[in-house]
Structure 1
């Protein structure tokens, strides 16, 4: 089972993200920050779903692959809506973690999703200014 601190941390970070993203931004920056915050919150929910799939006994690697596909799609959407070196680096790290987990799922094993959760937390941090 995965540490509840990881799940709680991702959930709390996502919950506070939308408000934090709006502090001290110009109108254009607000839109980008809000897009980043919304996508990071969506990714956090996707990661929670992935952790639930992997944590439940008897689930197939295909269930994990489906959850990883959702994360990949959300990251693609984020890349189209935002810019910035920090966001790009966080997205790249999360994509790498998703690819590694996907490889395990494709090989018929249930993946270790801890790196995905940590990378999602890093994305949440860079999407929150300050």
Structure 2
């Protein structure tokens, strides 16, 4: 849940800052970034829950990973920001590592790199 709260703060900060400091095109782009970061945070929350409940529903983790990858693909297609592209690549690699760990039989893979990379996307989406 901490990731979700952090993204909610990013949304608020972005709306307040961008509303007065930028034109509509920049505002739309920032909102796309924030909305996608929020979706990624929700998917990371789902992944954490899925890994915690892996014994009950092993497919849940795969679905959460698929959702994160889908959001990353969407975000990657919308940005030309180098910092955001790097953060997306880092999260993509972390998701791949978790998927491989699960495929190799690890029912409790380390999700720290995933949550860290998702948090970095939230930071990059915050106007500074």
Considering the TM-score relative to the shorter chain, is it more than 0.5?
A: yes
Q: Name the residue aligned to 1:119.
A: 117
- Given that residues 84 and 125 in structure 2 are in contact (C-alpha distance below 8 angstroms), is that contact kept between their aligned partners in structure 1? yes
Structure 1 gap segments, 5+ residues each: 1-6
Gaps of 5+ in 2: none
Mapped to 2, the partners of 1:62 and 1:109 lie a distance apart of: 14
TM-score (norm 2): 0.87
Equivalent position of 1:129 in the other structure: 127
- The number of residue pairs the alignment matches comes to 123
Question: What per-residue deviation string (whole Å, max 9, x for no partner) do you get for residues 54-75 of structure 1?
Answer: 1236245432122111000000
Partners of 2:54 and 2:60 within 8 A in 1: no
Deviation digits for residues 30-49 of structure 1, max 9, x if unmatched? 11111000000000011011
CA RMSD of aligned residues (A): 1.5
Q: For residues 61 and 104 of structure 1, what CA distance do their matches in structure 2 show?
A: 13
User: Could you state the TM-score of these two structures normalised by the residue count of structure 1?
Assistant: 0.86
Q: Give the Cα separation in 1 of the matches to 2:57 and 2:5.
A: 28
After superposing on structure 2, the runs of 4+ consecutive aligned residues of structure 1 that deviate more than 4 Å are none
